[in-house]
């Protein structure tokens, strides 16, 4: 493929790469990848393969690996290239750099030193999943990966319960059953939800249902491959979380956890299980 050969102006070019289908890359990204002075990738083998598919030669250009574990060592090399007036392209393993991927510190350091930052937008699993999930896209909250530890995971989920928009999570197939279990406990079984797996790949599948249904499905099947889990917003509760906490605080001074939960769930119209989780958290925090 012929491309106009003209030098790119110096700066750090952030390139979004395919999340599955290798043709999901913009023409502009391909132009940048063929013209840039220095290539930087989270995984150099993945970038090499992508370049090969699209007929782009690395040639004599520098190809550096930059990831979470070597960023301290490689970042100065990249900044030195920028300082000498070179153009540098950075691509993470898949999708958009910095979205649950490395690149943030590098971009920040480049900006702090006055270098130009250029975005070459393209695929992002969160956005692709939103468009496929059947859930509202007018407002959404991107959580990315939840913590591994169950207690912390539930605590984060609980804080998301009142977010007035679709929740977007990145998940691993190994952990999705545990995550759905915690989501049912903290957000309720009846929220609309979806799992978007292997998007743009051969075994792409979109599974829609209530959170409880999705959890049930994990008992009889394994969701393999790459997954995005989305959860629709809850029906607006009669009372906000802060009010539930205040009511619980009062009730816990006067009665047992069990009675306090009954009272507050009734008073506020909030799911009993959610109030119970909150009560456990509040009593656990006490010295």
Which residues here bind ligand SAM, judged by CB under 6 A?
Answer: 19-20, 92, 94-96, 99-101, 124-126, 170-172, 196-201, 226-228
Minimum CB distance to ligand SAM, residue 54 (Å): 19
E-strand stretches of the chain: 11-15, 38-41, 62-65, 87-91, 117-120, 140-145, 166-171, 192-197, 205-210, 227-231
Minimum CB distance to ligand SAM, residue 25 (Å): 13
Nearer to ligand SAM, 191 or 197 (CB): 197
Nearer to ligand SAM, 147 or 269 (CB): 147
DSSP secondary structure string for all residues of 272-285: HHHHHHHHHHHHHH
Angular region, 249: left φ>0, alpha ψ -120 to 50, beta rest: alpha
Nearer to ligand SAM, 42 or 192 (CB): 42
Minimum CB distance to ligand SAM, residue 57 (Å): 26
Minimum CB distance to ligand SAM, residue 235 (Å): 27
Nearer to ligand SAM, 15 or 279 (CB): 15
Judge whether 153 and 193 are in contact, CB under 8 Å. Answer: no
Nearer to ligand SAM, 125 or 264 (CB): 125
Within 10 A of 140 (CB to CB), how many other CB atoms are there? Answer: 20
Minimum CB distance to ligand SAM, residue 101 (Å): 4
Q: Which of 113, 123, 110 is nearest to 71 (CA)?
A: 110
């Amino acid at each position: 493929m012929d491309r106009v050969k003209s030098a790119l102006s110096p700066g750090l070019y952030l390139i979004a790469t395919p999340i599955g289908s290798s043709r999901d890359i913009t023409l502009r990204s391909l132009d940048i990848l063929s013209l840039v002075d220095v290539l930087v990738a989270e995984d150099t083998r993945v970038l090499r393969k992508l370049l090969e598919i699209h007929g782009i030669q690395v040639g004599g250009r520098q190809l550096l690996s930059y990831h979470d574990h070597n960023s301290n060592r490689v970042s100065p090399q990249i900044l030195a290239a920028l300082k000498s007036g070179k153009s540098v392209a950075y691509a993470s393993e898949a999708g958009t750099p910095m979205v649950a991927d490395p690149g943030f510190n590098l971009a920040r350091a480049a900006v702090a030193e006055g270098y130009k930052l250029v975005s070459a937008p393209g695929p992002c699993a969160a956005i692709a999943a939103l468009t496929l999930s059947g859930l509202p896209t007018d407002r959404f909250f991107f959580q990315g990966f939840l913590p591994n530890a169950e207690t912390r995971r539930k605590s984060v989920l609980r804080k998301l319960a009142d977010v007035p928009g679709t929740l977007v999570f990145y998940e691993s197939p190994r952990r999705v059953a545990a995550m759905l279990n915690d989501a049912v406990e903290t957000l309720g079984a009846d929220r609309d939800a979806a799992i978007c797996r292997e998007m743009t790949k051969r075994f792409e599948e979109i599974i829609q249902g209530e959170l409880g249904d999705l959890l049930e499905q994990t008992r009889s099947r394994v969701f393999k491959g790459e997954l995005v889990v989305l959860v629709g917003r809850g029906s607006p509760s009669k009372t906000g979380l802060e009010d539930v906490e205040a009511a619980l605080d009062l009730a816990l001074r006067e009665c047992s956890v069990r009675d306090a939960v009954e009272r507050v769930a009734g008073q506020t119209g909030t799911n009993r299980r959610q109030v119970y989780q909150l009560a456990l958290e509040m009593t656990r925090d006490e010295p």
